[in-house]
Structure 1
Amino acid sequence: MMKVEKIRQILPHRYPLLLVDRVTQLIPQQSIEAYKNITINEEIFLGHFPGKPIYPGVMQIEGMAQAGGILAFVSMFGDDTEQAKNKIVYFMTIDNTKFRVPVIPGDKLIYRLNVIKHKGNIWHLGAEAYVEDKLVSQAELKAMIADAEDS
């Protein structure tokens, strides 16, 4: 299990764009499970939508991408979070995306990602998001870990 303090050592994201609250399972080179608690206090609900708050699909994809970044980073560098200061994860493609069920305040959005293929610093990941046991969104993500100073 990885709590938010450790997540913040790996990911550069901060409020309001840090979208992973906790990692519940991580098997390097294979898979990750993490989650974000969706609350009515999210800034995004001021405009999406004021009368019927729905958590945007783009935020679901970003949350899956952040979980994938944690998986890739830990797979390559283990617990050496000092490396994170010099690295950045770029997403190259987002394919086969589907949004199946609206996500609303009070939901616990669970991200489950698995490695489809990994070669060098390129990661191809299958990503799904669940609320309880219901699949709410899915995508295939391709990302690259690069040196931050090259960006």
Structure 2
Amino acid sequence: MRWFWIDRFTEFVCGSHAVALKGVSLSEDHMHEHMVGYPIMPNSLVTEGMAQAGGLLVSEQYGFGELVVLGKLAKAKFHSCVRNGETLTYRVEIESVRESGAAVTATAHVGERLHAEALLFYARIGGDGNDPLNGAKLFHPRDLQHWLSLVGVFEVGVRADGTPMQESDYPLEESVPKS
């Protein structure tokens, strides 16, 4: 089972920034299990939502063909609680990209109210030619391609020059090992 903490992207600018939304609902189990009788979105899951948004933005820098993982949560600050019926708006911005990974700043807002801010570092696994997973994949590339479509990356995504991203520019199927 995979957990997705992004419902959809409203902006995705390659190499720059992205904005994503997450609607918070009482139908989500964690709303009842985190603080019984006081349903709020756990800050750890808000962090995961920011990390997923930033991770996809960083992964695009490597053509969505490299494994990018959250390596470090360097800073996180939370200012309020998120309750059912509210919508989180995640904004992530690439601060730097290197061969080994990237740094991203992230915020989460509820309306105009700042809820969280974080500094995230991502590691590019295997980008140096050393493959610690020995060719194993954490997920099938088709699953990633499907998720990118579901959350609207190719609907709203643009390159740095403003031209639209095209799903065909990221041939994830070609990275699937032949059996």
Q: TM-score range with shorter-chain normalisation?
A: 0.7 to 0.9
Question: 1:92: which partner in 2?
Answer: 71
**TM-score, normalized by length of structure 1?**
0.79
State the AA in 1 paired with 2:92: L
Question: 1:150: which partner in 2?
Answer: 132
Question: 2:92: which partner in 1?
Answer: 113
State the AA in 1 paired with 2:11: Q
Q: Aligned residues, how many?
A: 130
Q: Work out whether 1:67 is the aligned partner of 2:49.
A: no
Shift of 1:100: 0.2
3-state DSSP of counterpart to 1:150: coil
Mapped partners of 2:22, 2:69: distance in 1: 21
Question: 2:31: which partner in 1?
Answer: 45
Mapped partners of 2:103, 2:76: distance in 1: 14
Identity level (%): 27
**TM-score, normalized by length of structure 2?**
0.67
The one of 109, 116, 139 equivalent to 2:118 is 139
Q: Find runs of 4+ consecutive structure 1 residues off by over 4 angstroms.
A: none
Question: 2:94–2:102: 8 Å Cα contact kept in structure 1?
Answer: yes
If you compute each CA radius of gyration, which structure gives the higher value, 1 or 2? Answer: 2
> Which structure dedicates a bigger proportion of its chain to strand?
1
